[in-house]
Amino acid sequence: MTNYDRPRPRQRGRLPDQAYYPHQGGGRPPAPGQGKYPKKRLRLHLLLPALLLIGCAAFFYGIAHTQKASSQARLDALHQKQAEELAKFEQRRDRYLNMRKDSGYSQILKRYAEENQVNYSLVSAVVYCESHYDTYAQSSVGARGLMQIMEDTGTWIAGRMKIEGYSYDHLFDPDLNARFGVWLLSYLSDHYQGNPVMAMCAYHAGSGNVDLWALKYADDERFLKLDQIPTPDTKSYVQRVMEAYAYYYQHDIQNP
């Protein structure tokens, strides 16, 4: 008989179950979750805050990610808009510059601008808006040539400049038309003390009308602002001249 086959000695004062299951109260081991060694449970009062923190972190991450995507979309839209505006700007600038260059009248206009101390860029802008550099242009009211000189205005200028043998048909001559037009710009600029809005108003509507408008609408009764010009056609004309002038001036100041 081996040691494993021998009966275990019985301990005094202890039941058999107590000898091998030394738990409180004796008997068989307690069920799981009871007795001296209860089953471990997750503590909800610690788990819930952790889950809440994780949820908040995920929520704010989602907001940050959405805001970042939205900001990137707005930035992309802004870049696209800027690119479109730049393309439009370059297209308009090239149209102004190419029309002056292709006309062949640049040197004539520049020479008379220097002689009369008028900005060459402003002269270019007036020619662009008046005739698009067409020396044979004629309006419905009889204005002719590059700078659209009216018949009575041409006669008055010829008298002031003491030019003999002048006739209305001579206004189709680009040299004479430019000479008259630039002289008139110089005269109006001096008359209105270099104010470009007043000079352009007078070139389009006549100095008599402009003087009356200034008395009625100008704050100081002398110089009109652009938004104070009362007639839509003259206001539109001055706006177009100023826009063309800005394009020509930017180019000419960089390419003297």
DSSP annotation string for 74-97? HHHHHHHHHHHHHHHHHHHHHHHH
Asked if the model's pLDDT at residue 22 lies above 90, the reply is no
**Confidence band of 19 (pLDDT split at 50, 70, 90):** very low
Q: Determine if the pTM surpasses 0.95.
A: no
- 28-39 pLDDT, tens per residue? 555 555 555 454
Asked if the model's pLDDT at residue 17 lies above 50, the reply is no
Tokens found for residue 230: 């009362």
The answer to whether the CB of 91 falls within 8 A of the CB of 107 is no
- 66-116 pLDDT, tens per residue? 777 777 777 778 778 888 887 887 888 899 999 999 999 999 999 999 999
**Confidence band of 6 (pLDDT split at 50, 70, 90):** low
Degrees, nearest 5: CA angle 210-215-217:
85
Nearest to 199 by CA among 181, 217, 215: 181
How large is the C-alpha radius of gyration of the chain?
Answer: 47
Asked if the model's pLDDT at residue 41 lies above 60, the reply is no
Q: How confident is the prediction for the chain on average, in pLDDT?
A: 84
Instruction: For tokens 């003087």, name the residue.
Output: 211
**Assigned CATH for 103-249:** 1.10.530.10
Residue 220 one-letter amino acid? D
- 167-226 pLDDT, tens per residue? 999 999 999 999 999 999 999 999 999 999 999 999 999 999 999 999 999 999 899 999
Asked if the model's pLDDT at residue 60 lies above 90, the reply is no
